[in-house]
Structures are given as C-alpha cells and as structure tokens.
Amino acid sequence: MRKIQMVDLKGQYNAIKAVVNSDIQEIIDNTSFINGPKVHEFQKNLETYLDVKHVIPCANGTDALQIAMMSLGLKPGDEVITADFTFAATVEVIALLQLTPVLVDVNPDDFNINIEAIKKAITPKTKAIVPVHLFGQCADMEAIMELAKARNLYVIEDNAQAIGANFTYKNGKKVKAGTIGHVSSTSFFPSKNLGCYGDGGAIFTNDDALAHSIRGIVNHGMYERYHHDVVGVNSRLDSIQAAVLNAKLPHLDTYNKARQAAAMKYDAVFKNHEKIEIPFRKSVDCEGNCSTCDCHVFHQYTLKIKNSDRDGLVKFLNSHDIPCGVYYPIPLHKQKAYADERYNEADFPITNELIQNVISLPMHTELDDDQIKFITSKVLEFING
C-alpha cells in the first residue's frame, strides 16, 4: 500500500506533468513572469467554467477576501457578520480593515453559517455578510441573498473550500459556488480542490463597477501606470502559478468526482455507526446523503465523533501513519486576537460542540481502495475498542 497522505499532490502532478512542465518552461523562456499571457488565459478559462462575468486573479486567498471587502467601500466600525467555525483568515481581514467582526454560530449538519443567527446579529451598523462554504459545500445562499436584499447588505462569499461545487435553488436552477453574492473570493493554495504550486487567489463578481474597482486595488490602485486613483495593494497571481492552474482547470470536475467517490466509500463503512456521523449533503436534488448530488466537493471529509474520544482517535490514527486533521480546534470567538466581551457562550452551542468532536480524514484525488480500507478499519478499531 502506498503511503497515506492528507493530500497527495505528487500523484496528481504526474498525470499532468507534461503540460505543466511545458507551460512553465515557456514562461521561463519568454520571461513573462508577471501579468503574462498565461494569467489572462487562465482568467478567461475560469470565467467560462464558473459562468461569471469577471475573475480577477491575485496573490492568495486572504488577499482576495481583503480586496473584495475593500472594493465595497466599507468604513471603519462597519459590522461584518461571519461564521465562528472557520479558519481565521475570514475574520482576520475584517479586523485588518478596521471593520467590526460579528461572529455567529453555524448549522449542526453542514457546519455552514446559521441563517437565524445572522438575523439576530444584524444591527444598524451591519453592512455585510461573509458566508464561508465550509469543507466543500455551499451555505444557504438563496436565504442569505434574500435576507441581504431585504436589509440592504453586501454578501461576500468565502469560496476558498468549495470551488466547483453547485448550489441548487428551490426552483432547480444550478449555479457555481462563488457566483451568487455581490463578490466572492477563493484560494488556490496547493491543497485546495483547484490548487497551484505556491500561493494564489482570485476574486469573482458579476458587477462591472466592482470588477473595475478590484482591478485597480490589486495593482497599487493603478489603472494607468503611475496614476494611483484608489488606495490599493500589490497582489498579483504570477504567470507560473497561472500556468499550473490552467493545466488543472480542465480536470477540476474530474478531481471533484474522485473526491466524491472517495467520500462515498468512506460513507459506506461509517454511515450506520452509532458513534460516527458522516458528512451531510444538502441539495434539493437529494434527500440528505446520496451518491448523485453535486452540492459537495469534499475539500475535507469531516466526521462527527459521538460518545467517543476524538483526541484519542487522532493519536491512534497518527500512530498508524494515518494523517488526519481537526478543523477547527478553537472557535474564533475564543481566539486571543478576536475575543470580545460582546460574545456570549450561549450563542455558540453548535460551534462549541463541533470543536470537541470533528475529525477530517485524508481526502484527495489519488486515494485508492486499499488506503480507504486501511483508514476506515483503523477508525473502527478505535471506536469499537
């Protein structure tokens, strides 16, 4: 059996090695390292894939989220609502822009931001909502957009973990994650479903005016060289990373299907166990968990462990050379950087439960049956022990 990895980027690379190497060599030969043809080619191809009007590449996913917020003209002290159960980058950029982060609880099934919690958190100072499409599945964007429209709020999708996922409206219409809100950000960190070989990110929008603003912000506020019209940053996707992404993009749906297939194999072993709750899928196309819906692209395969020792399971798996992750062990409202007397523990019952019982198993495009069999057998050995 091959060594089990949390993410197997080398195996994925071997399948596209010729294209990647050729395109990188072409960039080195023509020295078009910054803003070269590959960047523009990737941008256009991703716009087509997502069916979105504007893709603006940038240096990384955190920059993408910050730039998206900068484009909206938010002012210091404006409140931005987001999920408590997510990676810190989401709230980090809110704080960096001197906005006021407002953290709320998540759903117990899909771990995404809770609509009722959003409603309770809205004040006259609220200006935006940042739903995070956690672990590969969209938040309830139809309800969020309805609420935002009624309250005149911006919606910024944090799509770092769900590129390629579909969101299905109640009427059956399907759209890609990251194309629903006023503006969206994503990350191309190597371990993402669409990842480069360094850092990279992008902003998506269907709004022409926002796109114009964002294009200036990413390039020092310039639309014309040495003419700085807005306050900007230096955040560009380099050509080599764009070449890698361009080589991978035609395979993204295949990559996601491989992740879904691996998830179904995990499911088959765990789904009826009284101490294990498998990842929930929520789509109008299916009733709960099924093998046909396209709402989840499994950036992570995350179990909830019930009435057992989650931390002990982590140690047991590691002792058998099985990597795993706890995403996330500390809620944002308890992080030193973001703690605030405004927060009441009673408002975060789901997040405070999840940090105690979630565990993410290896998930990537190269998982094979022998690896999955070994991983699942060791999980059950511990849980049943």
pLDDT band for position 292 (50/70/90)? low
At 236, is the secondary structure helix, strand, or coil? Answer: coil
Average pLDDT of span 282-305? 75
Model confidence over 192-221: pLDDT tens digits?
Answer: 999 999 999 999 999 999 999 999 999 999
pTM of the model: 0.95
Model confidence over 120-173: pLDDT tens digits?
Answer: 999 999 999 999 999 999 999 999 999 999 999 999 999 999 999 999 999 989
Active site residue 192: yes
Domain boundaries, given as residue ranges, for the chain:
9-249, 251-384
Give me the CATH code for the 251-384 domain, please. 3.90.1150.10
Q: Which of 176, 192, 265, 282 is catalytic?
A: 192
Residues 96, 12: Cα–Cα separation, whole Å: 36
Q: Given 3.40.50.620, 3.40.640.10, 3.30.930.10, 3.40.50.11140, which CATH number is that of 9-249? A: 3.40.640.10
- Those residues whose C-beta lies under 8 Å from the C-beta of residue 311, and which sit 6 or more positions away, are none
Residues 235, 372: Cα–Cα separation, whole Å: 39
Beta-strand ranges (E) seen in 59-170 are: 79-83, 100-104, 126-130, 154-158, 166-168
Per-residue pLDDT at 303: 98
